[in-house]
Amino acid sequence: MAGDGAAIPVTVHGNAGPVVILVHGWSCSAAFWDRQTEYFARDFRVVTLDLPGHGRANRLRPSGRWSMAQYGADVAAVADWTGADQVILVGHSMGGAVALESALRLGSRCRGLIGVDTFTEAAFYAGRPSYEISERQAVFGSDFASTMRGMIAAITGESTDPDLIDWIGSAMAATDPQAALSALEALLSWDIRPRWSLCSLPVTTINSAVLARRNELIELAGIDLRLMEGVGHFPMLENPSEFNALLSDVLKERLA
């Protein structure tokens, strides 16, 4: 349970090995990791969760406060619940920001921080001005489901299975709009740069090469950026076999 009383649905896959916590992105859920859990549960104790406002979690936070720091505290609470002395955090999209905040809170208990198409895109992680945040919220607020589906079509790979694109769009469009817009405001208000300077962990992120070429990127000192070709914003779903192999390599490096 979160510090403000929000329930955090958690599922554990596997019974032994280092604890790896998978943190989903904005308007996503633990289900977005379904193509990883069985694969990694062979060697790790894999923990998935639904952040407040997402998936099976409560629609709204009891405190009414939405921030990346609060989400980071939620994940740290899950890390406490596992009883593990050390954990590795893997965060997709907004989940990367959440995982970074959680890593800062956990300190030496965090063994590694791994991103998935996250950290580097200025439009989401560089602290946007208030007028821009309001404009972007208004676009989604006008027709949440259609806007969400249009965004997913634009940020997935050209060769991605249309049925998968439809599933992603439907799953994200099912998020409660009020919760989604509150979380979006919290993300766009957050700036990775001052938080990054506080992180002493080695950080790897597995990002879309297509989107990296398309978007304005933030320069982050020391980041280990690994690019996947042929996928968009959801590499763990769009090409799970290649993604799982890459993530496996990074986990082995962090645990060496």
Q: Over the stretch 156-215, which tens digit does the pLDDT of each residue have? A: 999 999 999 999 999 999 999 999 999 999 999 999 999 999 999 999 999 999 999 999
Residue ranges of E strands in the chain: 10-13, 19-23, 45-49, 87-92, 110-116, 203-208, 224-228
CATH number at residue 190: 3.40.50.1820
**Are 95 and 118 contacting, i.e. CB atoms less than 8 angstroms apart?**
yes
Q: Is residue 8 within 8 Å of residue 57, measured between CB atoms?
A: yes
* CA 55 centroid distance within chain: 13
The answer to whether 92 and 118 are in contact (CB under 8 A) is: yes
Query: Can you give the pTM of this predicted structure?
Result: 0.97
5 lies in some domain: no
**H-helix or E-strand containing 22?**
strand 19-23
The answer to whether the CB of 155 falls within 8 A of the CB of 210 is no
Q: How many CB atoms lie within 10 A of CB 96?
A: 29
pLDDT at residue number 66: 92
3 inside domain: no
Residue 2 lies in a domain: no
User: Quick check: is 227 in a domain?
Assistant: yes
What parts of the chain have a pLDDT lower than 50? none
The answer to whether 8 and 2 are in contact (CB under 8 A) is yes
Q: For residue 1, is it within any domain?
A: no
Domain that holds residue 245: 10-255
pLDDT at site 28: 98
pLDDT score recorded for residue 1: 60
- Looking at the domain assignment, is residue 153 inside a domain? yes
Number of domain units in the chain:
1
- Looking at residue 4, what is its pLDDT? 74
Q: Count of CB atoms within 10 A of residue 26's CB?
A: 21
